[in-house]
Chain A
Amino acid sequence: NAGVTQTPKFQVLKTGQSMTLQCAQDMNHEYMSWYRQDPGMGLRLIHYSVGAGITDQGEVPNGYNVSRSTTEDFPLRLLSAAPSQTSVYFCASSYGGLGSYEQYFGPGTRLTVT
């Protein structure tokens, strides 16, 4: 199993550009989530999904959209990039409800917005 994969690993955007961070898992997990990690702060939840077709907002959803058309894929879209979105982004999946089962993380995407 590849586990949780993320692409790209690194990305530089200009303010106002849009892009999609890709996340895929091959473990047939129902639960998937996106986090951002900033210096001096804990991981913060952006959006999550409890199954195909079902998504919900986390702690810091503004400026991001998600969709879940298949169990495997959970892309994160930045609608109009801002410097405040410079961060490292992690996708994670789990067999069951977030926090109640082991979390599997992707390798992360380092995003810089200039």
Chain B
Amino acid sequence: KNEVEQSPQNLTAQEGEFITINCSYSVGISALHWLQQHPGGGIVSLFMLSSGKKKHGRLIATINIQEKHSSLHITASHPRDSAVYICAVRNYGGSQGNLIFGKGTKLSVKP
């Protein structure tokens, strides 16, 4: 069983729709990251959180430590949001190098 599971694997939405991407993990964590990988391949960090909720523009990330679950929401989606969204966790027991990555959710937003 993968330690970080994302759902859905693929998501197609119409412009303007509200989008939710889910991340579940099975280890105790000290931090969770949401990353965005553009179609050209570059990866950027969207959020790092260890509790509660963070918001940046149309993006909102939440985490429930007790349920070992995080969600990434995109409000008023736009075609430029089309990308792969990756969840990664830093587990308590890990070494300095231990980030565990999900396989990503590929989002396509149609105009």
* Residues on A facing B (Cβ under 8 Å): 31, 33, 40-45, 48, 50, 56, 58, 88, 90, 92, 97-105, 107-108, 110
Contact = CB atoms under 8 A, between A and B. Distances in A.
Contact of B30 (A44, A88, A90, A99): A99
Contacts of A104: 45
A108 B31 CA distance: 24
Interface residues of B, number: 26
Find the residue from B33, B86, B99 having the highest chain A CB count within 10 A: B99
A102 B4 CA distance: 19
B60 interface: no
A43 B42 contact: no
A88 B88 CA distance: 18
Contacts, number: 68
A103 B44 CA distance: 8
Interface of B: 4, 30-31, 33, 35, 41-45, 48, 86, 88-90, 94-104
A108 B84 CA distance: 15
9 contacts: A33-B97, A42-B86, A43-B88, A58-B97, A90-B43, A100-B31, A102-B33, A105-B35, A108-B41
